[in-house]
């Protein structure tokens, strides 16, 4: 199951991505907001990140104006690897090398068609494991230093 949320800047793109994901056969739950009234992006980033961290959702999608605030917030949750992707290449690498489980998009940066392509690639691409598994495992080991 996929969970998706945005702030006011991402509501329209969110609706397009929900429709595209459902048309492709994915189960996707919209965690809000329902309209373009001004909201604070961390509130919605925390909703999606908490669902992914708890294992309630396998993937999350977050959209704000740039995707930056959403990614900063989501990455505060242990177990969440949120990647701000701008194109199919970054989406593919975020999955293959970083095992990203939350996709962040900037609605004021990335056009609708590219965003749909990014989501498709993000959902279709697997993690390569191997040497990348060791690196991903170290992401949360801040106390180990360099
Ligand atoms: C809202 O104006 C904007 O700051 C927000 O959507 C996002 O870009 C923050 O990172």
- Encode pLDDT of 48-104 as tens digits: 999 999 999 999 999 999 999 999 999 999 999 999 999 999 999 999 999 999 999
Residues touching ligand 1 (Cβ under 6 Å) are: 7, 9, 41, 64-66, 68-69
Ligand 1 atom having least distance to the Cα of 8 = 6
Q: Record the tokens describing residue 105, joined without a space.
A: 């998009």
For the chain, percent of residues with pLDDT exceeding 90: 95
CA-CA distance, 116 to 128, in Å (whole number)? 23
pLDDT of 145 above 80:
no
Strand partners, 63: 6, 105
DSSP letters spanning 29-68: EE-S-SS-S---HHHHHHHHHHHHHTTS-SEEEEEESSSH
Q: Which of 40, 96, 23, 26 is nearest to 5 (CA)?
A: 40
CA-CA distance, 42 to 125, in Å (whole number)? 27
Q: Of 64, 77, 85, 104, which one is the catalytic site residue?
A: 64
**Total Cβ atoms within 10 A of residue 130:** 9
Prediction pTM value: 0.97
Q: Of 26, 46, 86, 97, which one is the catalytic site residue?
A: 97
**CA 100–ligand 1 middle distance (angstroms):** 21
85 catalytically annotated: no
104 catalytically annotated: no
Q: Which of 86, 83, 82 is nearest to 117 (CA)?
A: 86
pLDDT of 144 above 70:
no
Candidate from 14, 41, 110 with most ligand 1 atoms within 8 A of CB, to mutate: 41
Return mean pLDDT, the chain. 97
pLDDT at position 74 is 98
Which domains does the chain possess? 2-143 (3.40.1400.10)
CA-CA distance, 18 to 111, in Å (whole number)? 15
Question: Span 26-37, mean pLDDT?
Answer: 98
């Amino acid at each position: 199951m996929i969970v998706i949320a945005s702030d006011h800047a991402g509501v329209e793109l969110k609706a397009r991505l929900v429709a595209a994901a459902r048309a492709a056969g994915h189960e996707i739950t919209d965690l809000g907001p329902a309209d373009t009234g001004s909201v604070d992006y961390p509130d919605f980033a925390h909703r999606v990140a908490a669902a992914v961290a708890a294992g309630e959702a396998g993937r999350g999608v977050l959209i704000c104006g740039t995707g930056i605030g959403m990614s900063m917030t989501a990455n505060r949750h242990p177990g969440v690897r949120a990647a701000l992707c701008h194109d199919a290449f970054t989406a593919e690498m975020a999955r293959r090398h970083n095992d990203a489980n939350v996709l962040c998009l900037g609605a004021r940066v990335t056009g609708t068609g590219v965003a749909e392509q990014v989501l498709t690639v993000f959902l279709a691409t697997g993690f390569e494991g191997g040497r990348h598994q060791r690196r991903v495992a170290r992401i949360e080991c801040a106390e180990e230093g360099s």
